[in-house]
Amino acid sequence: MTALLSALPPLQLAPEKLPSLPAVALQIVDLCRQPDVPIPKLQSLLAQDPALSARVLRAANSPSYARGQEVKTLSRALVLLGGKTTSVMALSFSLKATVDKSRQNQNAFPWDEYWRHSIVAAVSCRSLARIQRLWNPEEAFFCGLLSRIGQIALATAAPDTYQYALKAADGKLPTSTIERDSLGFSQQEVGASLLRSWGLPDIYTKALEMWQSLETGEVEGDPLQGAIVGCGDEIAKVLTHADGAASLQRAQQYAHDHLGLTNGELHRIIVALETEVQDAEEIFQIGGKNEYDFAKILESARQQLIEVSLRATVELDQAVGQVRELSERQGFLENAAYQDELTRLPNRRSLERELGEIAAIKRERPLSILLVDVDHFKAINDSMGHRAGDVVLQHLGQFLTKSMRRSDFVGRYGGEEFVVLVPNASLQELELIAERVRRTVENGIIRIGETDVKITVSIGGARIAAVKQLESVEDLMNSADKYLYEAKKSGRNRCICRAFNG
């Protein structure tokens, strides 16, 4: 620990109380430094710790990782998960055990909040890394899980010093701002030094250091990993009710400035975390009565942001009730302006706003558009009436919403036409998505009164490798419309998806 002590700012530390990884975990750390983790060696190490092996098996059978049949042996889990994923998973469990041991020495620290926050941050980082496709998602998960390990080091090894930050946070996890104001430094510095003393790969220490640099505005180098950790931390604050509106605003800033995500995309990602967070909390045995209605929590944070915005425009002597009334009115008007009344999906205006935000970011990642059109829709209206046509559109809208990823944008483009924005998909993946939608609609039945109705759809899809300007998005939309027309002309009930090189 000597290197750690010398790297930290001057404060009274009790080195014997600093968290330390067990021997098996340290050997796994050495394996993680290799480009390809040797599975036989990893299996041998895990076999030395039955409790750790049992946790890996439990995780392999969880919804987040399960692939069909139950995994009953460690060797099978290693084959299915791979050396990298298994090693990072094992380190995550070792970290949990290490931190829980420190709990015995420090009762003033908000332990339950720490673990709830860390799990949500870890799952958020993994989800963001999947979308970026530039960082191993399991490494991102582990980095999110240990992103606040510096607070554990300070709370256990320097409790007399850290109590000032804990008091200033009023029983909650101290923010970096509180730590700097109270101590003159932040937990990211301590955490990065601790991880370095453990011998963890540089990607973890650099991610924490870059996160700190992004907060202080002293950025040098590629900010991606630091931005993912920072955004994940802010999402965790939103979903654990630590700091709703302000954290949502900061998460949106991270997503827009460094991750190339629009507000709408980020919000859909946040809502989609719900199941994975529940799964992770079960795997890591995080107790407590936690709220899992992420859509409700997110909407509450959004309304707080609206209130903050409105409050800045009203006179200081206006009653709080007037501000709330304006807030509710603004929220209602916003929903009415951007939501299709029949299907409750985002409307064309909402689509244009989403595409405008994507174009403004000028992100260097693929974007695909699917246009889905009901075949012979006029015949349904003519033979069964417009109410039947409305029911068909409502059912199709519900189906598209359920069948696409929650991070995808699904909206009604107009008439019997729907639009889906699919980020980060290859052309082959886009074709598979479109064909799955087409086939499922063809095989489905819509009940209208006493009549069973079957419909088909034609789908046109276009993909661009990177969005550089608004014209690129407009041309992509026109291309999807062109391929939809080709699908109709070719006999309907088919998909045509192609790459657009504009």
Q: Are 359 and 474 in contact (CB under 8 A)?
A: no
Query: Of the ranges 15-19, 196-200, 210-214, 393-397, which one carries the lowest mean pLDDT score?
Result: 15-19
Q: Of 339, 246, 249, 238, which Cα lies nearest the Cα of 291?
A: 238
CATH architecture type of domain 2-292: Orthogonal Bundle (1.10)
Specify the pLDDT at position 277: 92
Please report the DSSP string for 445-501 in residue order: -EEETTEEE---EEEEEEEES---SHHHHHHHHHHHHHHHHHHHHTTSS-EEEEE--
pLDDT band at 17 (very low <50, low <70, confident <90, very high): low
The CA distance from 41 to 87, in Å, is 11
Question: Residues 375-388: pLDDT tens digits?
Answer: 999 999 899 998 99
Specify the pLDDT at position 35: 79
Terminal-to-terminal C-alpha distance of the chain: 55
Name residue 460's beta-bridge partners. Answer: 371, 496
Q: Of 366, 407, 468, which Cα lies nearest the Cα of 262?
A: 407
Residue 312 has pLDDT above 90, yes or no: no
**What distances in angstroms separate CA 282 from CA 46, 92, 149, 236, 275, one per listed residue?**
21, 14, 21, 17, 11
How far is C-alpha 371 from the chain's CA centre?
26
Q: In the 8-state DSSP scheme, what is residue 406?
A: T
Average pLDDT rounded to a whole number, residues 398-416: 87
* Residue 36: Cβ-neighbour burial (10 angstroms; 0-12, 13-18, 19+): exposed
Q: Which residues contact 501 (CB under 8 A, 6 or more apart)?
A: 464, 465
Residue 417 has pLDDT above 70, yes or no: yes
Mean pLDDT of the chain: 84
Q: Quick one: fold of 351-499?
A: Alpha-Beta Plaits (3.30.70)
Task: Tell me what percent of the residues of the chain surpass a pLDDT of 90.
Answer: 38
pLDDT band at 109 (very low <50, low <70, confident <90, very high): confident
Specify the pLDDT at position 431: 94
Question: Residues 430-482: pLDDT tens digits?
Answer: 999 999 999 989 998 998 888 899 999 999 999 998 877 767 788 899 999 99
Specify the pLDDT at position 107: 64
Angle, CA of 210, 205 and 49, to the nearest 5°: 145
Query: Of the ranges 47-61, 242-256, 300-314, 378-392, which one carries the lowest mean pLDDT score?
Result: 300-314
Specify the pLDDT at position 290: 66
pLDDT band at 262 (very low <50, low <70, confident <90, very high): confident
Question: Residues 167-225: pLDDT tens digits?
Answer: 888 878 998 888 888 888 889 988 998 898 888 999 999 999 999 999 888 877 789 99
Joined together, the tokens standing for residue 410 give 């699904």
Query: Of the ranges 3-17, 286-300, 339-353, 414-428, which one carries the lowest mean pLDDT score?
Result: 3-17
Which of left, alpha, beta for 200 (phi over 0: left; psi -120 to 50: alpha)?
beta
Specify the pLDDT at position 333: 43
Amino acid identity, position 205: T
215-220: long-range contacts, CB 8 A cutoff, minimum separation 24? 215/176, 215/186, 215/188
Question: Residues 28-74: pLDDT tens digits?
Answer: 988 888 878 888 999 999 999 898 899 999 998 988 888 778 888 99
Checking DSSP bridges between strand 495-499 and strand 457-464, what pairing results, if any? parallel
Specify the pLDDT at position 404: 85
Domain boundaries, the chain: 2-292, 300-338, 351-499
Angle between helix 83-102 and helix 39-47 axes, rounded to 10 deg: 30
Task: Tell me what percent of the residues of the chain surpass a pLDDT of 70.
Answer: 87
